[in-house]
Every structure is written in structure tokens, then in C-alpha cells.
Chain A
Amino acid sequence: MKIEQKLILSNVMYGVVIVLIGLFAFDNMNLVMTKLRFVEIADDLNASFLVMRLSEKNYFLHHDRAELNDILQKIEQTKQSIQDVREDIVKAIGSDELARLEAYLTAYGAAIERAASHGDGGPDEEALIRIEGKRLKEFSKSITQMERGRMNDIILGSKRILVISFSAILFVALLLGHFISQKILRSLREIEKLAHSISEGNFNRIEGFKTKDELGSVITAINSMSEELAHREEQILQSKKLASLGILTAGVAHEITNPLNNISMIAQTSQEISASLSESDHLDLMRKIDAETERIRKIVKNLLDFSKPKEAHPKESNINDVIRKTLTLVQNMIDIQNIETVINLEKDLPRLFIDGHQIQQVFVNLVTNAVQAMQPGGRLYIASRHGKGRESVEVTVMDTGKGIPPEYLPHIFDPFFSTKGEGGTGLGLSVSYGIIRNHKGEIRVESKVGVGTTFTVELPVQVRGLRTDEVIAPEESETVGKA
């Protein structure tokens, strides 16, 4: 469950970080509000001090003691105000600074009182008033400025931190998201490739993906599915073989009936008219029986070979060499039939991992069929080339013979399907088909009646898992014998 955990974890992380930032912002805002509140109060205080200053000035001008009383009143008011908002002030500037403020205020008040009680204030008293007053106001002003400045700093600081942290979160989120999704996408791409190759009938596995998360388990599941499919395919192949075995058996039974009948009729006749037969006649009949038993032997052998798997012994081979060997084998037949051959073998084809003997058998089969389909003077065209995407090699065998009607084409590789009558057992193409399929290749046919037929064999360059216990092939090619 690792990916799910990772995702949950990262989501929780984001959540926590965002909450933290939120708290931080909220906290800052409270701080700012406190400062703001103080600045409000301070402005009020400063306004009061201004009024006091004014009265002070008036007093110095007119020496009206009433002004002094006003000031004292004002001071009381101010002290009262300060009391009222004591908490807010302390929150903003701290109790030490407030104490200092109050001390200065008190000192100022004391100075005013001295002047008031001494009747006409002497210059000393006036000087004191001025000094205390100044001190008070300057202190107040400086605190106010400081707090304003602090407030600005806090706001600026908040802005900066918010921007930075949001950028950081965004960056991390993108990075993390990128990594996680890349990992997932990479695994998905592997799975997609595998699924695609499975759909084409290649049951491979994904190896080396030992992650213990959801993708790992998907890959494990797909691997076992692939194995299962390969297993099923083998089963299907087996049952298909059994089915064709059924057809084969029926075909063989039918094929055997004629030679058996021949032997029977010879034996019956030989007994019936024995007297009228000469020695050489008898011998002749025995020879005929022998020939028929040979026929039966071949038919039975083909059946046994078809049902008994024959191992392929693959090794690295050059397909053009196989083609050339085929041609030497069938050259005689080609010459007798007066067939013109055009050979076009592409150079530098990749070497294939094949059982050369079996592939040669396939080519002999195809060439033989081609020659037998043509009249004398026909043309046989054999070519080899790179296959699609250079992942395979293609060999075509084309003739200018009578062609195959379209309704027969789907059955052309069926066992016992033959358009040749006595000429063949109908096993040649089905055996060839089996050999090519075992090499993980393809064999295709195209044909037009009256024009000719083309067989194309495609063999892969890389063969993984060549099954060496399933190939079917008769030891002697009956079609070569017939030629």
C-alpha cells in the first residue's frame, strides 16, 4: 500500500503546513491589530499632549493660572484614559514603557502643580514645566513612531514569509507530484507494453520490478496472468492437436481403405484363379501386395509422426543458405518441369535462431507445391528480405500456377486438405505450418485463380522461448518423394 500511504502522507503534510502558515498569518494579524490599537491610543494621547502644550503656551503668554488648571485636568483625564486602556497599551509596548510614560506624565503634572502653587511661576518653574513637557511629548512621539515602524515591519515580514512559504509549498507539491506520477507512469508504461505484447500472443513477463506497492502487485498479477495465458494457449494447442488428430485418424482410416482393398482383392483373385496364373503372374501379384503394404506403412508413419512431437534443434543460421540448400534439393524437379526460377535474396539479413533442417523442409514443401501447380514453362520466384521494422525476415515463394480458389484458402493449412488428389496426403502444408508456428513465425498465403499463388514465411529475428518439444515433422517429406 505504499503509494496510497505516500499520497496520504503528502496530503497530510500539505494540510499541516497550510494550517501552520494560516496560524502564523493569523497570529501576525493579531499582533498588527494590537499595534494598530496602540497607535490609535497613542494618537489620542498625543492629541491630548498637544492640547496641554497649547495651554502651556497660553500660560507662558498670559500667565493665566486657569490654564494651569486646565492642564492638570487634562492630565487627570489622560491618566484616566490610560487606565481605561491599560491592557491594550501594555500589550503593545510593555509595562516598563507604560510605567515610564506614566512617570513622565506624573512629573509633568508635578511641575505644573509647583508652578500653580507658587503663585506666579518663577522662571525655574517655567523651565521645569518646559523640560518635563518636552520630555513627555518626545517620549510619547518616539514610542508611537516606533510602534508604527514595528507594525510596518510586521506587515512586510508577514507578506514576505507568506510569499516564500506558498512558493515553497507549490514547488514541493509540484516536485513531489512529478516524482510520484513519474514513477506511476513509468510502471504503467511497462504494464501497457506487456499488455500489448500479450494481446499479440507473446506471453512475456515483466522482470526486475520488485517494488512492494500497488504497482508491484499489479505487475505480479499481470505476470501470473501472462503465465496462465501461455499455459492456456498450450492447452488449446494440445486440444487442437487432438482435434486434428481426430481428423487425421479419420483421414488415415480413409486413406488406408484403398490399399487394404487392393491387397484384399489381389489375395482373393490370386486364390480364385490360382490355377490359371503362371509363376511370374503370382510373383507379380505378391509384388503388388508388397507395394500396397508400403503405401500403408507410409500413411501410418505420417500419422505417428504427426502425433509424436519432434524436437527442434535450433541454432544460428543464415536463411539464404537454407534457401540455397532447398534449391539444390529441388533443382531436378524444377528442370524436369522446365520451370524458370528467379531468385532474389537480400544480402546481410540478420542471422536467425532456427532448426535449419526443419525450415528447409518447409521450403521444400512450398517449392514442390509451387512447381506442381504450374504447367511446364511456368515461373518460380523466390525472395528473401527484411521484415517489418527489421525485426523479422520474410521469404516469399511465388508461382504462376493455377492458383487456389478463395473458398479453399482458409483451409489450406488444415491437415489432409489437398487439392492434388492422388498426389499428396495433404499433410505437407499443415506440417509446415506447425514448424513455422513453433519458430514463433507466420506463414501466409495469397492466391488468384489462373494467376498464381504466393506463400510468405516470416521468421522473427529474436526468438524467446522456442519450444523444442512440440514441433511436428515427418522424417521423409512425402512431397519430395512424389516429385
Chain B
Amino acid sequence: MEKSRIMVIDDEKIVGDMAKMSLEQEGYEVETFLNAEPALERLKEKRFDVVVTDYKMKGIDGMEVLRTVKRDYPGTAVIMITAFANLDAAIEALRGDVHDFFPKPVKIKELKASIKRALEKELAAK
């Protein structure tokens, strides 16, 4: 079976690095990006099952990533992580059909569980 592909977008390099290390151990294929622009370009080339993105970034931010993914790649789940955890952000993301929403500091175990649920949902939808 093809490995599930996870994309991680966060302007903090360590987030991507640690997520990659942890998620690769689960058997996922992980690609990390520090900005949303190259990430969205990459999405055009290759299909990803889950996109984990930071909420607040310079340039294209998390909400725009969410909208773009939901519009162009409806089968791809989006998980939002953020240092900026307030209710309005959460509601906005919820309404944008985000799969899950994690305030920083992120519990990697919970992230993994959420990714697993997203993949299962996608599988069920197919």
C-alpha cells in the first residue's frame, strides 16, 4: 500500500523537523515547508493526504491554505496548529471545514491520533 503523505507547513523549522521525525516513524511520508507558497506549489505536483499548517504565517496564512486545499484538493484533510489560540480563530477554521485544531505547544501523540482519524475518514469516503 502506498504510504500516506503528510505535508507540514510552519515558519518554525523545528516544528517541521520534529514532526517529520515522529511521523516518519509511523510510516508516513513527510515533506516540510517553512512558507505556504512553495507548499501550495508542491501540492500541484504531488497529492498529499493531510496538510498540517500553522495558522498565522507571513504571506499566505493558514486560513488561505485551508481554503485553497478545500477548494482544489477536497480529499485532503487540513489540520491547523497555532501559537495564537483564540476562539475566533478556532471558529473560523471550523467553518472552513478544518479537520482539527491544535494550540501550541502541540502534543505529538494527539497530532498523530488526529492524522490517523483523518486518514480513516478519507478511506471511508472513498
Contact = CB atoms under 8 A, between A and B. Distances in A.
Interface stretch (B12-20, B40-48, B116-124): B12-20
A394 to B, nearest CB: 35
Contacts of A269: 18, 21-22, 108
A262 B22 contact: no
B14 A262 contact: yes
A157 to B, nearest CB: 102
Given A257-B84, A264-B105, A272-B22, 17 more contacts: A258-B83, A258-B104, A260-B104, A261-B12, A262-B12, A262-B14, A262-B15, A263-B105, A265-B105, A268-B18, A268-B107, A268-B108, A269-B18, A272-B108, A273-B21, A273-B25, A288-B14
B126 interface: no
B88 to A, nearest CB: 15
Interface string A62-75: 00000000000000
A261 B83 contact: yes
Nearest to B11: A422
A261 B105 contact: yes
B58 interface: yes
15 contacts: A257-B83, A258-B12, A264-B104, A264-B105, A264-B107, A265-B15, A265-B106, A268-B18, A269-B21, A269-B22, A272-B22, A272-B25, A273-B21, A288-B14, A421-B58
Interface of B: 11-12, 14-15, 18-19, 21-22, 25, 58, 83-84, 104-109
Contacts of A257: 83-84, 104-105
A266 B58 contact: no
Contacts of B84: 254, 257
Contacts of A470: none
A5 interface: no
A88 interface: no
Contacts of A272: 22, 25, 108
Contacts of B58: 421
Nearest to A277: B21
B18 A265 contact: yes
Contacts of B18: 262, 265-266, 268-269
Nearest to A268: B108
B21 A261 contact: no
A265 B19 contact: yes
Interface in A276-290: 276, 288
A268 B25 contact: no
Interface in A405-449: 421-422
A273 B24 CA distance: 10
Contacts of A260: 104-105
B21 to A, nearest CB: 5
Nearest to B83: A257
A66 to B, nearest CB: 145
A263 B108 CA distance: 12
Interface of A: 254, 257-258, 260-266, 268-269, 272-273, 276, 288, 292, 421-422
A258 B14 CA distance: 10
Contacts of B15: 261-262, 265
A262 B81 CA distance: 13
A422 B11 CA distance: 9
A268 B22 contact: yes
A292 B17 CA distance: 14
A276 B25 CA distance: 9
Contacts of B22: 268-269, 272-273
A264 B106 CA distance: 7
A262 B107 CA distance: 11
B90 to A, nearest CB: 15
B25 A292 contact: no
Given A273-B22, A273-B25, A265 B11 contact: no
B104 A261 contact: yes
A268 B104 CA distance: 13
A261 B58 CA distance: 19
B14 A266 contact: yes
Contacts of A263: 105
A268 B109 contact: yes
Contacts of B14: 262, 265-266, 288, 292
Contacts of A266: 14, 18
A411 B108 CA distance: 38
Contacts of B12: 258, 261-262
A42 to B, nearest CB: 119
Nearest to B12: A258
Nearest to B104: A261
A288 B12 CA distance: 12
Nearest to B85: A257
A328 to B, nearest CB: 33
B109 A254 contact: no
A271 to B, nearest CB: 9
Pairs of residues from A and B, 4 with the lowest C-beta to C-beta distance, nearest first: A261-B104, A264-B105, A257-B83, A265-B18
Nearest to A422: B11
Contact of B106 (A261, A288, A421): A261
A361 to B, nearest CB: 27
A276 B22 CA distance: 11
B103 to A, nearest CB: 8
Nearest to A263: B105
